[in-house]
Amino acid sequence: MTPYIIGGIIIALFIFIISNIHIVPQARGYVIERLGAYHATWKTGMHITVPFLDKVAKKINLMEQVADFQPQAVITKDNVRMQIDTVVFYQITDCKLYTYGVTSPMSAIENLTATTLRNIIGDLELDSTLTSRDIINTKMRAILDEATDPWGIKVNRVELKNIIPPKEIQDAMEKQMKAERERRELILKAEGERNSTILVAEGRKQSLILEAEAEKQSAILRAEAAKEARIREAEGEAEAIVKVQKATAEGIRMINEVSPGQAVIALKSLEAFEKAADGKATKIIIPSEIQSIAGLAKSITEVAAAEEKAQ
Protein backbone atom coordinates (compact mmCIF):
# COMPACT_ATOMS: atom_id res chain seq x y z
CA MET A 1 0.00 0.00 0.00
CA THR A 2 1.46 3.27 -1.05
CA PRO A 3 2.00 6.15 1.36
CA TYR A 4 -0.58 8.23 -0.50
CA ILE A 5 -3.31 5.70 0.14
CA ILE A 6 -2.42 5.48 3.81
CA GLY A 7 -2.44 9.23 4.08
CA GLY A 8 -5.80 9.46 2.37
CA ILE A 9 -7.26 6.84 4.73
CA ILE A 10 -5.98 8.75 7.77
CA ILE A 11 -7.43 12.02 6.49
CA ALA A 12 -10.79 10.38 5.73
CA LEU A 13 -10.85 8.77 9.18
CA PHE A 14 -10.04 12.12 10.80
CA ILE A 15 -12.81 13.86 8.88
CA PHE A 16 -15.23 11.07 9.79
CA ILE A 17 -14.42 11.41 13.48
CA ILE A 18 -14.67 15.21 13.35
CA SER A 19 -18.06 14.98 11.65
CA ASN A 20 -19.39 12.97 14.58
CA ILE A 21 -18.27 15.54 17.17
CA HIS A 22 -20.96 18.14 18.01
CA ILE A 23 -20.69 21.24 20.20
CA VAL A 24 -24.03 22.45 21.58
CA PRO A 25 -24.07 26.27 22.09
CA GLN A 26 -25.50 28.07 25.11
CA ALA A 27 -29.33 28.08 25.36
CA ARG A 28 -29.65 25.37 22.74
CA GLY A 29 -30.80 21.76 22.87
CA TYR A 30 -30.19 18.90 20.43
CA VAL A 31 -32.60 15.98 20.15
CA ILE A 32 -30.69 12.77 19.27
CA GLU A 33 -32.29 9.74 17.60
CA ARG A 34 -30.65 6.31 17.47
CA LEU A 35 -31.91 3.95 14.85
CA GLY A 36 -34.89 6.25 14.27
CA ALA A 37 -36.00 6.39 17.93
CA TYR A 38 -35.52 9.09 20.52
CA HIS A 39 -32.24 8.54 22.34
CA ALA A 40 -31.23 11.67 24.30
CA THR A 41 -31.31 15.45 24.58
CA TRP A 42 -27.95 17.12 24.51
CA LYS A 43 -27.38 20.29 26.54
CA THR A 44 -24.59 22.84 26.24
CA GLY A 45 -21.14 21.24 25.66
CA MET A 46 -19.32 18.79 23.39
CA HIS A 47 -20.96 15.50 22.39
CA ILE A 48 -20.07 12.60 20.00
CA THR A 49 -22.55 10.62 17.94
CA VAL A 50 -22.17 6.98 17.08
CA PRO A 51 -21.52 6.73 13.35
CA PHE A 52 -24.36 5.32 11.27
CA LEU A 53 -26.55 4.91 14.41
CA ASP A 54 -27.12 8.36 15.90
CA LYS A 55 -28.63 11.39 14.21
CA VAL A 56 -29.33 14.95 15.35
CA ALA A 57 -33.10 15.02 14.79
CA LYS A 58 -33.76 18.64 15.88
CA LYS A 59 -31.87 21.69 17.07
CA ILE A 60 -34.00 23.72 19.46
CA ASN A 61 -33.66 27.29 20.74
CA LEU A 62 -34.30 27.36 24.51
CA MET A 63 -34.46 31.15 24.87
CA GLU A 64 -37.76 33.01 25.31
CA GLN A 65 -39.24 33.75 21.91
CA VAL A 66 -41.96 36.03 20.54
CA ALA A 67 -44.70 34.96 18.16
CA ASP A 68 -46.51 37.88 16.49
CA PHE A 69 -49.60 36.46 14.81
CA GLN A 70 -51.77 38.05 12.15
CA PRO A 71 -54.91 39.95 13.29
CA GLN A 72 -57.80 37.59 14.05
CA ALA A 73 -61.45 38.38 13.28
CA VAL A 74 -63.61 38.14 16.40
CA ILE A 75 -67.23 39.00 17.25
CA THR A 76 -68.24 40.50 20.60
CA LYS A 77 -71.30 39.61 22.64
CA ASP A 78 -73.16 42.61 21.22
CA ASN A 79 -72.39 41.47 17.63
CA VAL A 80 -69.58 43.89 16.83
CA ARG A 81 -67.01 42.46 14.43
CA MET A 82 -63.40 43.57 14.98
CA GLN A 83 -59.80 42.59 14.35
CA ILE A 84 -57.42 41.76 17.22
CA ASP A 85 -53.67 41.35 16.83
CA THR A 86 -52.00 39.22 19.53
CA VAL A 87 -48.40 38.67 20.63
CA VAL A 88 -47.35 35.52 22.52
CA PHE A 89 -44.15 35.22 24.55
CA TYR A 90 -43.19 31.57 24.99
CA GLN A 91 -40.25 29.36 25.91
CA ILE A 92 -39.44 25.70 25.14
CA THR A 93 -38.89 23.77 28.34
CA ASP A 94 -38.85 20.17 27.10
CA CYS A 95 -37.06 19.38 23.83
CA LYS A 96 -38.47 15.85 23.56
CA LEU A 97 -42.11 16.97 23.97
CA TYR A 98 -41.56 19.90 21.63
CA THR A 99 -40.14 17.54 18.95
CA TYR A 100 -42.64 14.71 19.26
CA GLY A 101 -45.64 16.34 20.94
CA VAL A 102 -47.13 18.14 17.96
CA THR A 103 -46.41 18.25 14.26
CA SER A 104 -46.13 22.01 13.85
CA PRO A 105 -45.89 23.71 17.27
CA MET A 106 -46.08 27.33 16.03
CA SER A 107 -49.08 26.65 13.82
CA ALA A 108 -50.74 24.88 16.73
CA ILE A 109 -50.10 27.85 19.03
CA GLU A 110 -51.46 30.28 16.45
CA ASN A 111 -54.68 28.31 15.95
CA LEU A 112 -55.07 27.79 19.69
CA THR A 113 -54.59 31.52 20.27
CA ALA A 114 -57.23 32.40 17.69
CA THR A 115 -59.85 30.01 19.08
CA THR A 116 -59.17 31.03 22.67
CA LEU A 117 -59.43 34.71 21.75
CA ARG A 118 -62.76 34.17 19.98
CA ASN A 119 -64.17 32.32 22.98
CA ILE A 120 -63.15 35.06 25.44
CA ILE A 121 -64.25 38.00 23.29
CA GLY A 122 -67.56 36.27 22.54
CA ASP A 123 -68.48 36.62 26.23
CA LEU A 124 -67.67 40.35 26.36
CA GLU A 125 -69.37 43.42 24.95
CA LEU A 126 -67.51 46.07 22.96
CA ASP A 127 -66.92 48.46 25.88
CA SER A 128 -65.70 45.63 28.12
CA THR A 129 -63.37 44.40 25.38
CA LEU A 130 -61.79 47.82 25.01
CA THR A 131 -61.33 48.32 28.76
CA SER A 132 -60.44 44.78 29.89
CA ARG A 133 -57.14 44.08 28.15
CA ASP A 134 -55.44 42.90 31.32
CA ILE A 135 -58.24 40.44 32.08
CA ILE A 136 -58.18 39.07 28.52
CA ASN A 137 -54.38 38.75 28.59
CA THR A 138 -54.47 36.87 31.90
CA LYS A 139 -57.18 34.45 30.76
CA MET A 140 -55.42 33.73 27.46
CA ARG A 141 -52.07 33.14 29.11
CA ALA A 142 -53.57 30.66 31.59
CA ILE A 143 -55.45 28.75 28.87
CA LEU A 144 -52.52 28.66 26.42
CA ASP A 145 -49.99 27.70 29.10
CA GLU A 146 -52.13 24.78 30.20
CA ALA A 147 -52.80 23.65 26.62
CA THR A 148 -49.15 23.80 25.53
CA ASP A 149 -47.72 21.86 28.49
CA PRO A 150 -47.93 18.53 26.57
CA TRP A 151 -45.90 20.16 23.79
CA GLY A 152 -43.03 21.16 26.09
CA ILE A 153 -43.87 24.87 25.71
CA LYS A 154 -44.43 27.39 28.49
CA VAL A 155 -46.43 30.53 27.63
CA ASN A 156 -45.01 33.35 29.75
CA ARG A 157 -47.15 36.23 28.52
CA VAL A 158 -49.90 37.13 26.06
CA GLU A 159 -50.60 40.69 24.90
CA LEU A 160 -53.34 42.18 22.76
CA LYS A 161 -51.24 44.26 20.42
CA ASN A 162 -54.04 46.00 18.54
CA ILE A 163 -57.83 46.10 18.79
CA ILE A 164 -59.30 47.39 15.53
CA PRO A 165 -63.07 48.00 15.64
CA PRO A 166 -65.09 48.79 12.47
CA LYS A 167 -64.81 52.23 10.89
CA GLU A 168 -68.24 53.39 12.02
CA ILE A 169 -67.46 52.33 15.58
CA GLN A 170 -64.19 54.26 15.44
CA ASP A 171 -66.02 57.36 14.23
CA ALA A 172 -68.60 57.04 17.01
CA MET A 173 -65.82 56.58 19.59
CA GLU A 174 -64.00 59.66 18.31
CA LYS A 175 -67.19 61.72 18.56
CA GLN A 176 -67.79 60.40 22.05
CA MET A 177 -64.22 61.21 23.07
CA LYS A 178 -64.56 64.71 21.59
CA ALA A 179 -67.81 65.27 23.50
CA GLU A 180 -66.19 63.99 26.67
CA ARG A 181 -63.23 66.33 26.24
CA GLU A 182 -65.58 69.26 25.65
CA ARG A 183 -67.57 68.31 28.74
CA ARG A 184 -64.42 68.12 30.84
CA GLU A 185 -63.31 71.47 29.44
CA LEU A 186 -66.63 73.07 30.44
CA ILE A 187 -66.39 71.51 33.89
CA LEU A 188 -62.85 72.77 34.37
CA LYS A 189 -63.86 76.23 33.13
CA ALA A 190 -66.85 76.33 35.50
CA GLU A 191 -64.69 75.17 38.40
CA GLY A 192 -62.13 77.84 37.53
CA GLU A 193 -64.78 80.56 37.46
CA ARG A 194 -66.25 79.31 40.73
CA ASN A 195 -62.85 79.28 42.40
CA SER A 196 -62.17 82.76 41.04
CA THR A 197 -65.49 84.04 42.42
CA ILE A 198 -64.75 82.46 45.78
CA LEU A 199 -61.29 84.02 45.87
CA VAL A 200 -62.69 87.46 44.95
CA ALA A 201 -65.37 87.16 47.64
CA GLU A 202 -62.80 86.07 50.19
CA GLY A 203 -60.60 89.00 49.16
CA ARG A 204 -63.47 91.44 49.59
CA LYS A 205 -64.37 89.90 52.93
CA GLN A 206 -60.78 90.19 54.09
CA SER A 207 -60.67 93.80 52.85
CA LEU A 208 -63.87 94.65 54.75
CA ILE A 209 -62.49 93.00 57.87
CA LEU A 210 -59.27 95.00 57.58
CA GLU A 211 -61.23 98.22 56.99
CA ALA A 212 -63.43 97.50 60.02
CA GLU A 213 -60.37 96.77 62.12
CA ALA A 214 -58.75 100.00 60.92
CA GLU A 215 -61.95 102.00 61.65
CA LYS A 216 -62.22 100.39 65.06
CA GLN A 217 -58.59 101.20 65.82
CA SER A 218 -59.11 104.76 64.55
CA ALA A 219 -62.22 105.17 66.73
CA ILE A 220 -60.31 103.87 69.75
CA LEU A 221 -57.48 106.29 69.07
CA ARG A 222 -59.94 109.20 68.63
CA ALA A 223 -61.73 108.26 71.86
CA GLU A 224 -58.44 108.03 73.70
CA ALA A 225 -57.39 111.42 72.28
CA ALA A 226 -60.71 113.00 73.32
CA LYS A 227 -60.42 111.42 76.74
CA GLU A 228 -56.87 112.70 77.10
CA ALA A 229 -57.99 116.19 75.99
CA ARG A 230 -60.84 116.21 78.52
CA ILE A 231 -58.51 115.03 81.24
CA ARG A 232 -56.01 117.74 80.41
CA GLU A 233 -58.77 120.37 80.21
CA ALA A 234 -60.17 119.24 83.56
CA GLU A 235 -56.69 119.27 85.05
CA GLY A 236 -56.19 122.82 83.68
CA GLU A 237 -59.51 124.01 85.11
CA ALA A 238 -58.76 122.35 88.43
CA GLU A 239 -55.34 123.97 88.47
CA ALA A 240 -56.92 127.39 87.67
CA ILE A 241 -59.47 126.96 90.43
CA VAL A 242 -56.75 126.00 92.84
CA LYS A 243 -54.73 129.06 91.86
CA VAL A 244 -57.79 131.34 92.24
CA GLN A 245 -58.57 129.80 95.58
CA LYS A 246 -54.96 130.21 96.62
CA ALA A 247 -55.07 133.87 95.50
CA THR A 248 -58.33 134.42 97.36
CA ALA A 249 -56.96 132.76 100.45
CA GLU A 250 -53.81 134.86 100.20
CA GLY A 251 -55.91 138.01 99.87
CA ILE A 252 -58.00 137.09 102.88
CA ARG A 253 -54.86 136.32 104.82
CA MET A 254 -53.38 139.70 103.94
CA ILE A 255 -56.61 141.48 104.84
CA ASN A 256 -56.69 139.65 108.13
CA GLU A 257 -53.12 140.68 108.81
CA VAL A 258 -53.88 144.43 108.43
CA SER A 259 -57.09 144.16 110.58
CA PRO A 260 -59.52 145.95 108.20
CA GLY A 261 -62.29 148.04 109.65
CA GLN A 262 -66.00 147.60 109.25
CA ALA A 263 -66.15 150.25 106.54
CA VAL A 264 -63.52 148.51 104.36
CA ILE A 265 -65.36 145.22 104.62
CA ALA A 266 -68.60 146.94 103.65
CA LEU A 267 -66.93 148.62 100.66
CA LYS A 268 -65.56 145.27 99.49
CA SER A 269 -69.00 143.76 99.82
CA LEU A 270 -70.41 146.60 97.77
CA GLU A 271 -67.83 145.97 95.04
CA ALA A 272 -68.76 142.31 95.03
CA PHE A 273 -72.43 143.17 94.54
CA GLU A 274 -71.49 145.57 91.79
CA LYS A 275 -69.71 142.75 89.96
CA ALA A 276 -72.56 140.44 90.63
CA ALA A 277 -75.07 142.81 89.11
CA ASP A 278 -72.87 143.58 86.10
CA GLY A 279 -75.71 145.52 84.59
CA LYS A 280 -77.69 142.34 83.88
CA ALA A 281 -79.52 141.67 87.12
CA THR A 282 -83.04 143.13 87.34
CA LYS A 283 -83.39 142.78 91.08
CA ILE A 284 -80.73 142.66 93.81
CA ILE A 285 -81.31 142.38 97.56
CA ILE A 286 -78.67 144.35 99.51
CA PRO A 287 -78.11 143.69 103.24
CA SER A 288 -78.87 146.58 105.67
CA GLU A 289 -75.24 146.99 106.67
CA ILE A 290 -74.25 147.70 103.10
CA GLN A 291 -77.24 150.03 102.63
CA SER A 292 -75.99 152.36 105.41
CA ILE A 293 -72.55 152.44 103.88
CA ALA A 294 -74.09 153.20 100.56
CA GLY A 295 -76.03 156.08 102.03
CA LEU A 296 -72.91 157.48 103.63
CA ALA A 297 -71.05 157.20 100.40
CA LYS A 298 -73.89 159.04 98.64
CA SER A 299 -73.78 161.88 101.16
CA ILE A 300 -70.04 162.25 100.79
CA THR A 301 -70.43 162.27 97.05
CA GLU A 302 -73.11 164.99 97.20
CA VAL A 303 -70.97 167.21 99.50
CA ALA A 304 -67.99 166.86 97.22
CA ALA A 305 -70.10 167.81 94.27
CA ALA A 306 -71.50 170.94 96.06
CA GLU A 307 -68.03 172.11 96.88
CA GLU A 308 -66.90 171.76 93.32
CA LYS A 309 -69.92 173.82 92.16
CA ALA A 310 -69.22 176.60 94.72
CA GLN A 311 -65.71 176.95 93.52
User: pLDDT, tens digit, for every residue of 153-191?
Assistant: 999 999 988 888 888 877 877 888 888 888 888 999 999
Judged against a pLDDT cut of 50, whether residue 89 lies above it is answered with: yes
Judged against a pLDDT cut of 80, whether residue 14 lies above it is answered with: no
Q: Are strands 81-92 and 65-68 parallel, antiparallel or unpaired?
A: antiparallel
Rounded to 5 degrees, what are φ and ψ at 145?
A: -65, -40
Mean predicted lDDT score pLDDT of the chain: 82
Structural domain boundaries of the chain?
Answer: 3-61, 65-165, 260-311
Q: How confident is the model at residue 65 (pLDDT cuts 50, 70, 90)?
A: very high
pTM given for the model: 0.54
CATH class of 65-165: alpha beta
What angle do the packed helices 105-121 and 133-148 form, to 10 degrees?
Answer: 140
The Cα 119–Cα 123 span in angstroms is 7
The dihedral over CA atoms of 119, 124, 129, 131, expressed in degrees to the nearest 10, equals -130
Q: Are 41 and 31 in contact (CB under 8 A)?
A: yes
pLDDT in tens, 42-62: 998 898 888 888 899 999 999
pLDDT in tens, 273-311: 555 555 555 555 555 555 555 554 455 455 455 655 655
